[in-house]
A and B are shown apart, each in its own frame.
Chain A
């Protein structure tokens, strides 16, 4: 027996809802277009899409025809209740010939006076993602062919919705992930920085780990590593807030403990009960000190020059988001030139059922063995010191303080903002030659006066550079500040004060204004220095 051919109008209808051209429409337009075509083919008075809202058990009206108010009013139907709710819960088509209005939850359907309803679930890989229904203002029978056509349109919409959702999620996750780690690590004279991050291989979403590194206004280098409990967008959003909050408090000039205490208050405010651990380390290069605070985070590893790496015995304080008013303690460790600091998240060392110390020992051995910081971070993130690779998110951040060269050769952007960054380097370099605190201060001011002049007078606006070279010879410090522009003669009452300061603070100040720029040579002999 041969199947009767479908009537020509049924075939046309089929083609109209499976039309490939629909795939090129944005999701909202696709839904509206499908509703138009369905309503026309089935000659229904109304048609509507309700989509299951992610993370909830509610259907939300997304597109409607004939009952547009439904979308405007943002009608929400709990799964399992009412007409649409039951279709979603029972995952099957439901036809109601004569609507018992007490049964329909949606007041708009009732107000419109809809008599007959047919609805089908939107199914994607067996999951319900929404409901499509059509309605008639007069009592009518929707037959099986109507139901099949409606289901076809629902399937078509279901796929498109799923694609749009996944595409959107991927973009959101990518954007968030990008915002959670610095685009590039800061470049600081005398410090080498490296970092790596690797999300768990089986996780589809975003990891809970983040790291950050930035310079503080007074020249210190801040290292941050953190871990927000959980995965997904909510964890990522909190992570982004914590990262921004920490930067803001740090740049505002608060002490490391002050920064973490404020961050805890912020965490309690925005999302209490979601635990976040943070390790915060501030590298004070000038005084060769490391200050650390731990909010429930793994202690840092410190490898001094010519010594074995060790786990810093940091007093651990509670994670963020646990209790308001938590006091955080700050600890200080010597950080001589050549030292390496490594911060990691638990994923790097934690093996289920094992004492944490074992993992930290493995990490120390790794730090001792791998001297290249980039390679070290990559190896840590590969899971070398922990469980099998890819089990958990891993973030690693490492810094090494480089010994300063005998002769300092530096280039700076001709901007006032670079002045404060120059001071710690200069102070550290002068300290290396045994300069007394007063001498360090005086020479620093003189070099800054020359540099400020180079910034202020030497250039047309732009990203020009100037050079500061410092050398030492048997107790005599010589600093040369060279730019490529022309100094204008000082103007105004206060303009010449920089020169007065330079001359008062240094033994000699020589200014050479040539065609290709201005060179200032500053000299001063250190008093107590060993030659």
Chain B
């Protein structure tokens, strides 16, 4: 991947945390999507996508997260999001109502600590 964004995986918690470091747009969303889907296998009961290190996200990335969330839901898995409150990314999520479609927390640690819904 041209590293517009890097997907950093942390598997030390109850569910894997995938941090999106960098910028996600139409040019790299397919690759980011493939990396995220590779993280959630059938055994994991969820995934935290950490958007706190993300510096750019538009409808391309939001569409990806909606699609990923739908796929996970059909497998009884929960997609949780972490985004800094008041950040531009947080605003994008609420414009698109993504933060109402999936549980959204203000940090990855908080998302990990949350009771599985």
- Chain A interface (Cβ < 8 Å from any Cβ of B): 217-218, 251-253, 416-417, 419-420, 423, 437-438, 441-442, 444-445, 448-449, 452, 455-456, 493-494, 497-498, 500-501, 504-505
Supply 17 further A-B pairs (C-beta < 8 A) apart from A217-B23, A449-B59, A452-B25.
Answer: A217-B2, A218-B22, A218-B23, A416-B25, A420-B23, A420-B25, A420-B28, A423-B56, A437-B88, A438-B91, A442-B88, A444-B56, A445-B92, A456-B26, A494-B67, A500-B96, A501-B62
In this assembly, does B27 line the interface, its C-beta being within 8 Å of a C-beta of chain A?
A: yes
A252 contact set on B, CB distance < 8 A: 3
Q: A497: which of B4, B26, B63 is its contact (CB, 8 Å)?
A: B63
Quick one: which of A444, A448, A497 has the most chain B CB within 10 A?
A: A497
B110 interface hit (Cβ, 8 Å): no
Instruction: Tell me the B44-81 residues at the A interface (CB within 8 Å).
Output: 55-56, 58-60, 62-63, 66-67
Q: Mask for B17-32, Cβ within 8 A of A = 1, else 0?
A: 0000111011110000
Query: Which one of B6, B26, B55 has the greatest number of beta carbons of chain A within 10 Å?
Result: B26
Is there contact, CB below 8 Å, between B60 and A452? yes
24 contacts between A and B (CB under 8 A): A217-B4, A218-B22, A218-B23, A253-B3, A416-B25, A420-B27, A420-B28, A437-B88, A441-B88, A442-B88, A442-B91, A444-B56, A445-B56, A445-B58, A448-B58, A449-B59, A452-B59, A455-B26, A494-B63, A494-B67, A498-B58, A500-B59, A500-B95, A501-B59
Query: In whole angstroms, how far apart are the Cα atoms of A444 and B63 in the complex?
Result: 18
Q: How large is the interface on B (under 10, 10 to 19, 20 to 34, 35 or more residues)?
A: 20 to 34
In this complex, what residue of B is CB-closest to A427? Answer: B56
Report the bound CA distance from A455 to B4 in whole Å. 19
Contact among B26, B28, B66 for A452, CB-based, below 8 A = B26
Nearest CB of chain A from residue B81's CB, rounded to whole Å: 16
Write the nearest CB–CB distance from B85 to chain A, whole angstroms.
Answer: 13
Bound complex: CA A417 to CA B31 (Å): 13
Q: Distance in Å from the Cβ of B27 to the closest Cβ of chain A?
A: 4
Are A504 and B95 interface neighbours, CB within 8 A? Answer: yes
Contacts of B6 in A (CB 8 A): 253
Give B53 Cβ to nearest chain A Cβ, in Å. 12
Report, nearest first, the 7 A-B pairs whose CB atoms are least far apart.
A253-B3, A441-B88, A416-B27, A494-B63, A217-B4, A497-B59, A504-B95
**In angstroms, how far is the closest chain A Cβ from the Cβ of B49?**
17
Complex interface: chain B residues within 8 A of A494 (CB) = 59, 63, 66-67
Expressed in whole angstroms, the Cα–Cα distance for A504 and B96 within the complex equals 9
Q: Would B27 and A417 count as touching, CB distance under 8 A?
A: yes
A422 CB, min distance to chain B CBs, angstroms: 10
Closest chain B residue, CB of each to CB of A253: B3
Contact of A449 with B58 in the complex, beta carbons under 8 Å: yes
| Complex-state Cα separation, A416 to B55, whole angstroms | 18
Measured in the bound complex, the distance between the Cα atoms of B95 and A500 in whole Å is: 8
Contacting residues, chain A, for B5 (C-beta < 8 A): 253
Of all chain B residues, which has the CB nearest A504?
B95
Tell me if A423 and B3 are in contact (CB < 8 A): no
